[in-house]
Amino acid sequence: MNAKYFVAENREAAAGMAISHFICDEENIIIEQISDGNETDYCQFLALVGKPGEVANMDANFSLYYENDGVYLELYKERGAGFKFESSDLMKFVSRKKIVGLDESLIEELLKTGIGRTKIARAQEECFYGESLDVVISDDNMQASVVLVAPESGGQPLSYEAAQRVLYDVGVVHGVDSQALKLLLDSKRYGEARIVAVGTPAKDGEDGKLVFNFSTDERTGSPMEIGSGRVDYRSLDLYVSVEEGQLLVTREAATEGHPGTTVKGVTINQRPGKEVMFPRGKNVDINEDKTEMYAQCSGMVEFVNNSVNVSNVYKVKGDCDLSVGNIDFDGCVHISGSVRSGSHIKATGGVIVDGSVEAATIIAGGNVEIKGGMQGADKGLIEAGGAVSILYVERGIIHADGPVTVDVSMHSIIESGDTLTAQGRRGAIIGGHVGSCGNIIANYVGTISNTRTEVAVGVTPRKRARLLFLEKETTRISTELMNLDKLDRYLLKSKGVMAPEKWELLYRSSVENRQVHADDLENLIVEKNALVYDMEHATGGKVHVFDTVFSGSRVMIGSDAYLVDDEINYVSFKFDDNESNVVYGPCELSKSS
């Protein structure tokens, strides 16, 4: 759409001027009279070039003309559905033209009418503007965008240095993306906003934190999975075990963070992190730097009420049954109730049971104290690295490296690495096998019904059973070596006759098996000889009975045994080195001692 104002005597004159200006046929020009003639009878006409439909919906527009007597501004009002123009766009355009002596008040007057032509400056050469940048800075000053404005025909391109100066002049001095700015200038993508500067955000410091090196989750008490969709209902998730010196908690220090900077170079302060303190603790150690917490002892660890507590005693309130599951604890175990059948308790320390024990297993690295008794049903087992104290044992098994104290032992197997004492209201050993590396002290051994009862001192039954096993093994391996001798003789005769590969295979097998059997036999003989020596020299122990040893009882000391065929009262059994057998005499101890 082309438009221009003409001052002429009449419409025909105006049309002629328009034809000359637009260089087109008269039928393509629409002439409209804008003002009446003055005293000289001259009128103002508006010439429009375009199709009638275009003219009917023409957008508002403006033009500048550099004429001999001055610079003129023409405004063309919108028509029909045409759009108005923004006065700010007009002022920006005029500003870019760098007109000398510009009278902005005249422009404002013309804008009020919205149509017409007025002289706004004296005559001068036209300045053709080049490319320019419009800069927009975000409200938070963290981002700057630019729009590359297209030049007029003949205008100069914007250099990178000039673009930098534009940014600097509006205060953008930080985070400028040189590559983005150069790419925009080279691409000539006019009118598109591009981000060319981004501020550096402040990074707040991280708060200090505690890293727990053990599970602080609430214990589920659920059974342990053992694979293939199966679970062990006696191994329950009830506590978290720890070892002495184990790292429990690590404290990570807070960080300062770092400040940020806006695109205008203003510093943004960060928030430093807050330090965190260690939780309270029991049986724990903290290093000098206060960065690590360790367990003082082995046992179980809990995190309750912001406190890390380590205990070397695992306490079970009530009975140890299926609801508690098996216990494998690095420390001591205290059961306030009883231990029910099928339960399994293992502790590196001692075990205390306030009630009784059924057909269960208790393995302790220290002492075992059962305040009740054991109904073992031939399945109950107690193994202790220290002493065992129990009220009674019926059809149970006790192995202790230390002394054993029991009131009544009935049809049970008891082995003690020290003195075994059956004293109390009854102090009886009835049936079964009882052995001690020290002395055995009891009120009664056997029963009036001649129940077979064996007591042994010097060497425990386990050692005797081990000796029998070693004797069988030495015999078996000796037989294997004899068979290898036969194979060697056969191979000697078959060499050169048998296929070389087969002969070599049999020969290597013979050599390897002979070496293995020879080593095993040597080790077994050494162990066997040591046990035999112990049995032959373990004759210092004695059996003291304050009341009665009943018929059917068997007393073994060292390598000899004495079968009691009639009741003997108040007696001590010992080994006579001169006669090399077991003898007895009056009890060498008194109950009071």
Please write the tens of the pLDDT for every residue from 407-455. 999 999 999 988 999 988 899 999 999 999 889 999 999 999 999 999 9
Select from 283, 311, 339 the last residue of a domain: 311
Task: Return the closest-CA partner of residue 582 out of 590, 553, 406.
Answer: 553
Both 76 and 88 in a single domain?
Answer: yes
Give the model confidence (pLDDT) of 45-91 as tens digits. 888 888 888 888 888 899 999 999 999 999 998 888 888 888 888 88
Q: Same structural domain for residues 510 and 435?
A: no
Is 205 within a domain? no
Rg of the chain in Å (alpha carbons): 55
* 163 in the same domain as 244: no
Q: Are residues 439 and 558 in the same domain?
A: yes
11: its two tokens: 């419409």
At 220 the pLDDT is: 53
Identify whether 592 is part of a domain.
Answer: no
Which string of DSSP letters, residue by residue, matches 1-65? -EEEEEEESSHHHHHHHHHHHHTS-GGGEEEEEEE---TT--EEEEEEES-HHHHHTPPPEEEEE
**pLDDT for residue 38:** 58
Q: Are 99 and 124 in contact (CB under 8 A)?
A: yes
Element containing residue 546 per DSSP (H, E): strand 543-549
CATH number at residue 242: 2.40.50.100
Backbone dihedral angles phi then psi of residue 360, each to the nearest 5 degrees: -125, 175
Parallel, antiparallel, or unpaired: how do β-strands 2-8 and 29-35 relate?
A: unpaired
Do 407 and 383 share a structural domain?
A: yes
- Does this model's pTM top 0.95? My answer is no
Question: At residue 312, does pLDDT exceed 60?
Answer: yes
Residues 425, 337 within the same domain = yes
Alpha-carbon distance values, 580 to 162, 441, 459, 535 (Å): 120, 22, 16, 12
Same domain, 304 and 446: no
pLDDT tens for residues 90-146?
A: 888 888 888 999 999 999 998 988 888 999 999 999 888 888 898 999 999 999 999
Q: Which residue range is the domain that position 488 belongs to? A: 464-537
